[in-house]
Amino acid sequence: MKKLILSAVAAVFAMGISNAQEIDFGAKVGANFAKLTGDDLEDADGRTGINVGITGEYMFNPTFALQVEALYSQQGLQRDLTGGGEQKLKLDYINVPVLAKFYIGESGFSIEAGPQFGILVKDESSIEGAGILNGETDLNAEELDLSAGGGLAYKFKEGTSLEGLSANVRYMIGLNNVFEDGDTFGDDITNSVLAVSLGYKF
């Protein structure tokens, strides 16, 4: 599945290179306000991280587009342990959102929605301030994370001094359990991420 997703992303961007006049490519960077949700994590805090990557947008007409991205995304949580100390869980993904975009007239604003496929690239848990429990370990998170969601974007108009720039707010909610079994944090633990980012179309 991981190879299939990577191949699909490569195919989309390769197609875009051959049809560069039809697809707008760009880069984006922003902040993630991520957390894990579930009954056993109600008191856990989120993790603030970054998202950075590339985008490709195909305009079918002036009001509808399809946008595909490949983003490095820092996610996870931090929480206080019952016996003292703090646990930080770092889950980093290569996320591939595939979003339908609906532009609102000629305002530059658009509404976006669709699925996202995440490939795990880092799974690290560290404990500090808990005596002999201090240290780092892997928690065997699932390699594939499925999410869905949407957001609001604004693209500065052509001919203005900020042409090419865009801003985006997006919320994605996980659809599958982050961990392979319920022994780590319990059942039904899912990702959720509020992302704020700036982009530039070349």
Can you give the pLDDT at residue 93?
96
Full DSSP string of 72-110: EEEEEEEEE-TTS-EEEEEEEEEEEEEEEEEE-TTSSEE
Residue range of the domain that includes 39:
2-201
Q: Using an 8 Å Cβ cutoff, are 145 and 191 in contact?
A: yes
* CA-based nearest residue to 53, from 22, 74, 38, 39: 74
| 120-153 pLDDT, tens digit each | 998 888 776 544 444 456 677 889 999 999 999 9
Tell me the pLDDT of the chain averaged across its residues: 83
pLDDT band at 54 (very low <50, low <70, confident <90, very high): very high
Task: Give the residue-averaged pLDDT of 114-118.
Answer: 97
Q: What is the CATH number of the domain that holds 45?
A: 2.40.160.20
CA distance linking residue 180 with residue 185, whole number of Å: 11
Can you give the pLDDT at residue 135?
46
- How many domains in the chain? 1
Asked if pLDDT for residue 39 goes beyond 80, the answer is no
